Amino acid sequence: MAYLRKEKETVEIDYSLNKVWIAIQKVLANLDWNTEQIDETAHHLKAKTKAGPMSWSSVLLIDAAPVHENTTRVSVAVETPSTTITAIVDFAKGKRRMNLFLMELGKQLAR
């Protein structure tokens, strides 16, 4: 029986929306995750991670919105399909992928 594991996190980053949006796309390219949909106007994208030998790929839904001129809110939602068998091996894979994305985003912005 398959189901979706969902994780979500929202962070505020002290950089402009434009800089964050460019960095988000660079992070996905650096991680070799595929951008499946992108809306440049709404600053929304859908990306897919690579599947592993014992795990499914995850879908990331990323939204960026300005809070102030130099502050941006980034929301990341991760959906990972799982089954009873893969849940044991794949436990919290979506959360780890979301944390990896946010960590890499921080590094990209610090450059």
What CATH number labels 2-110? Answer: 3.30.530.20
Instruction: Assign 3-class secondary structure to 68-92.
Output: ECCEEEEEEEEEEEEEHHHHHHCCC
Q: What residue spans define the domains of the chain?
A: 2-110
pLDDT tens digit sequence for 10-43 = 999 999 999 999 999 999 999 999 999 999 999 9
pLDDT tens digit sequence for 54-69 = 778 899 999 999 999 9
Entry pTM? 0.89
Dist CA 36 CA 15 (whole Å): 25
